[in-house]
Amino acid sequence: MAVESDSRRPLIAGNWKMNLDHLQAIAVVQKLAWTLKDKNFQPTGVDIAVLPPFTDLRSVQTLIAADNLDFQLGAQDLSPHDSGAHTGDISGAFLKALACKYVLVGHSERRADHGEDDAVCVQKTQAALKHDLVPLLCVGETAEDLEKLGASAVPVSQLTAVLEAIPSDSELVVAYEPVWAIGSGTPATSDQAQEVCATLRETILSVHGKEQAARTRILYGGSVKSSNIAGFMKKPDVDGALVGGASLDPEEFAAIVQFEKHVTVE
């Protein structure tokens, strides 16, 4: 499609899900930093983010600040509310206070496990923006959706619901994650990812205009590894990756981050 921009800095974000306690988190982030340092990696062309469980955020934030690491921090969820009687919820204000930059919204595991629908994703996206966090909105079709509706219908409608509810100049990152590819070891092909990511960019174009379509980063997620990242990153509408399982292994995640060098860990 015709929306072009070289201003979209690639983003590789590690979604740790419910893995690694705060002590393990420190060890993993330290090892990631050492591995990249050993390879003389200069993260000039890529943003690297880690998205640990809530209980790890304080420890990881302290490590990043103390060692001046070139990693960005994010959380995996937030409350639609600011504060008050919402037992177990975490406010975007608290995440911002811990120097989080990103927060996942609408990951398919939350949509499935907690019944989060588009209305909840809209509220959470609005809450993130209100607290100056960048929502990392996950969209994607199940295997059943794919068979019945094709690849793009569900992700486009999930994205449209959110876009229509936020100001057109909002900073948003979109992650296209086909549910059938998550944790399955069977990623989408890079052509499949490109096709849906291009359609999502067209959706941004039609709802929020050309400038926003050109600047919004769209990531691919679902069984990304060091052996397949380079293929995704070559595609014009894929601006990075949301990495689950492979982000728990610092050497593998370091190799993914170095996608330009085609480093592979097997």
Contact flag: residue 244 with ligand PGA (CB under 6 A): yes
- State the Rg of the chain over Cα: 17
Contact flag: residue 182 with ligand PGA (CB under 6 A): yes
Of residues 100, 110, 85, the one with CA closest to residue 52: 100
Total number of residues that touch ligand PGA (CB under 6 A): 13
Task: Choose, from 109, 141, 177, 195, the residue flagged as catalytic.
Answer: 177
Work out how close the CB of 48 gets to ligand PGA at its nearest, in angstroms, rounded to a whole number: 15
Contact flag: residue 118 with ligand PGA (CB under 6 A): no
Name residues contacting ligand PGA, limited to 1-20 (CB under 6 A).
Answer: 15
Of 49, 63, 64, 242, the residue at the interface with ligand PGA (CB under 6 A) is 242
Contact flag: residue 189 with ligand PGA (CB under 6 A): no
Tokens 């595991």: give the residue: 109
Of residues 37, 67, 66, 136, the one with CA closest to residue 95: 136
Of 47, 56, 145, 177, the residue at the interface with ligand PGA (CB under 6 A) is 177
Of 80, 92, 155, 222, the residue at the interface with ligand PGA (CB under 6 A) is 222
Contact flag: residue 155 with ligand PGA (CB under 6 A): no
Strand partners, 243: 14
Q: Between 202 and 231, whose beta carbon lies closer to ligand PGA?
A: 231
Q: Are 175 and 139 contacting, i.e. CB atoms less than 8 angstroms apart?
A: yes
Catalytic: 107?
yes
3-class SS at 103?
strand
Work out how close the CB of 198 gets to ligand PGA at its nearest, in angstroms, rounded to a whole number: 20
Query: How far, in Å, CA of 241 to CA of 258, rounded?
Result: 12
Q: Are 174 and 196 contacting, i.e. CB atoms less than 8 angstroms apart?
A: no
Q: Between 32 and 213, whose beta carbon lies closer to ligand PGA?
A: 32
Catalytic: 4?
no
- DSSP H helical segments within the chain, as ranges? 22-38, 57-66, 92-97, 108-113, 118-130, 143-149, 153-163, 190-208, 210-215, 229-233, 250-257
Strand partners, 104: 136
Tokens 């944790």: give the residue: 183
The DSSP-derived string for 167-178 is: -TT---EEEE--
Contact flag: residue 224 with ligand PGA (CB under 6 A): yes
Of 183, 186, 189, 251, the residue at the interface with ligand PGA (CB under 6 A) is 183
Q: Between 137 and 213, whose beta carbon lies closer to ligand PGA?
A: 137
Q: Between 95 and 175, whose beta carbon lies closer to ligand PGA?
A: 175
Q: Which amino acid is at 248?
A: L
Please give the residue ranges that form the binding site for ligand PGA (CB under 6 A).
15, 177, 182-183, 221-224, 242-246
Active site residues: 107, 177
